[in-house]
């Protein structure tokens, strides 16, 4: 899966929003109801590095792999950064991003969730 395919995948979640933040952050953020579930870095030298939240038990497993590291500033909340998404198995990446989306959606109030996705 390349960055274009991954961006398309992230934007297809129910009620997902894609927002591009310019300088100084230079990130393309994917969120639901104001809760971020993934983002891409858009400036050099880290252009198209992809970050998402993961579960605590997978954090160590993921960060032990080459090309995956704790996300800057958010690593302590179990966010990881993938240097090159093309090197990750597509099904596994989809599973991890789906979990991150569901975690963000679950952090919303029941009323807000129903407004956004009808749950």
Asked, for residue 116, whether it belongs to a domain, the answer is no
Residue recorded with tokens 């971020």? 36
Domain span including residue 46? 3-107
Tell me the CATH number at 29: 3.90.1150.30
Q: pLDDT by residue for the chain (119 residues), tens digit each?
A: 999 999 999 999 999 999 999 998 899 999 999 999 999 999 998 999 999 999 988 999 999 999 999 998 765 789 999 999 999 999 999 999 999 999 999 999 999 999 999 86
Question: Does some domain include residue 84?
Answer: yes
Number of separate domains in the chain: 1
> pLDDT tens-digit profile of 3-26?
999 999 999 999 999 999 999 889
């Amino acid at each position: 899966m390349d960055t274009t395919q991954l961006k398309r995948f992230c934007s297809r979640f129910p009620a997902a929003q894609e927002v591009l933040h310019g300088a100084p952050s230079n990130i393309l953020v994917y969120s639901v109801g104001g809760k971020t579930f993934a983002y891409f870095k858009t400036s050099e030298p880290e252009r198209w590095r992809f970050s998402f939240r993961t579960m605590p038990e997978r954090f160590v497993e993921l960060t032990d792999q080459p090309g995956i590291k704790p996300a800057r500033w958010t690593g302590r909340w179990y966010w990881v950064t993938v240097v090159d998404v093309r090197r990750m198995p597509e099904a596994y990446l989809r599973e991890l991003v789906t979990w991150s989306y569901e975690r963000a959606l679950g952090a919303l109030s029941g009323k807000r969730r129903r407004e956004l996705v009808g749950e």
